[in-house]
């Protein structure tokens, strides 16, 4: 209904109007323009300008779109976590996939340092992966700063495990590219194998679950990522201790 760009361009008056609308949408759709003006202490003319700035002919059209948006939001259904997990298991838990995990784990075991890279939710999981590997006595660190300096001396004999649902996040691709240019082996965990990040990686693990959004937020389940991180860590530990 409102884009991030539109919101950042609101004046103080427009933002107060926006704030009332998103807080009380069920009231606004039944209000006359003068009612909204009285509630928000904004003139009817200012409300009309606000609507036109958003691309609507007037307040009536704006209310129609607000009502439609509310109905769409109410009718959104979530993918059950069990369904997503079943998708993942059916598509990945096969001999060749397990063999790939084994091969990647050998590469991790041979490295001196493991660097986890991710942003947003993937950044939280990158930190989790770093702690999990470290708990199994494989020194790891995580990076969530896209401008983190990458130097050959600090990346010698290292691997980077890069997490991204889409595999198209520009800042993550950039830091993965910099690490690769410095000689770091790239292991990516993405939802699909045909993304930019997967293509630039030495190894890729994809988990193939249905992508899920609510408004502008990516709510794709990350249960498979946790399973893959833990599987890699345990398999790596096995190679280190044999």
Task: Tell me the residue range of the domain where 172 lies.
Answer: 81-240
Q: Which pLDDT score is estimated for 61?
A: 94
Query: In terms of domains, do 31 and 128 share one?
Result: no
133 near 140, Cβ under 8 Å?
A: yes
Query: In terms of domains, do 147 and 236 share one?
Result: yes
Distance CA 222, CA 211 (A): 11
Give me the tens of pLDDT residue by residue for the chain, a chain 242 residues long: 777 667 768 888 898 898 889 888 999 999 999 999 999 999 999 999 999 999 999 999 999 999 888 876 655 555 566 766 776 777 666 768 889 999 999 999 999 999 999 999 999 999 999 999 999 999 999 998 877 777 656 677 899 999 999 898 999 999 999 999 989 999 999 988 889 999 999 999 998 887 776 665 777 889 999 999 999 999 999 999 98
Query: In terms of domains, do 103 and 171 share one?
Result: yes
Q: Which pLDDT score is estimated for 213?
A: 67
Domain boundary among the residues 43, 75, 107 is at: 75
Place of tokens 């009332």: 20
- State the CB neighbour count (10 A cutoff) for residue 165: 25
DSSP letter assigned to residue 146? T
Query: In terms of domains, do 61 and 116 share one?
Result: no
Domain boundary among the residues 27, 52, 75 is at: 75
Looking at the 3D structure of the chain, how many domains does it have? 2
Query: In terms of domains, do 102 and 202 share one?
Result: yes
Which CATH number covers residue 57? 1.10.10.10
Query: In terms of domains, do 108 and 71 share one?
Result: no
**What's the pTM value of the predicted model, to 2 decimals?**
0.67
Domain boundary among the residues 75, 107, 128 is at: 75
């Amino acid at each position: 209904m409102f884009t991030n760009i539109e919101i950042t361009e609101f004046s103080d008056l427009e933002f107060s109007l926006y704030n009332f609308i998103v807080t009380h949408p069920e009231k606004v759709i039944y209000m006359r323009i003068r009612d909204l003006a009285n509630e928000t202490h904004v003139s009817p003319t200012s409300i009309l300008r606000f609507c036109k700035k958003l691309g609507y002919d007037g307040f009536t059209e704006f209310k129609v779109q607000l009502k439609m948006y509310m109905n769409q939001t109410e009718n959104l259904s979530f993918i059950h976590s069990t369904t997503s997990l079943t998708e993942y298991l059916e598509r990945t838990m096969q001999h060749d996939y397990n063999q790939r995990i084994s091969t990647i784990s050998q590469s991790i075991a041979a490295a001196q340092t493991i660097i986890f890279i991710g942003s947003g939710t993937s950044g939280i999981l990158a930190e989790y992966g770093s702690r999990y590997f470290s708990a199994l006595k494989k020194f790891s660190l995580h990076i969530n700063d896209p401008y983190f300096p990458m130097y050959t001396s600090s990346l010698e004999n290292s691997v980077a495990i890069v997490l991204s649902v889409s595999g198209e996040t520009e800042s993550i691709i950039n830091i993965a590219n910099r690490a690769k240019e410095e000689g770091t082996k790239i292991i990516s965990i993405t939802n699909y194998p045909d993304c930019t990040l997967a293509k630039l990686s030495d190894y890729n693990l994809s988990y193939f679950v249905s992508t899920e959004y609510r408004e502008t937020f990516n709510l794709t389940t990350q249960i498979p990522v946790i399973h893959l991180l833990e599987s890699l860590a345990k398999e790596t530990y096995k190679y280190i201790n044999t």
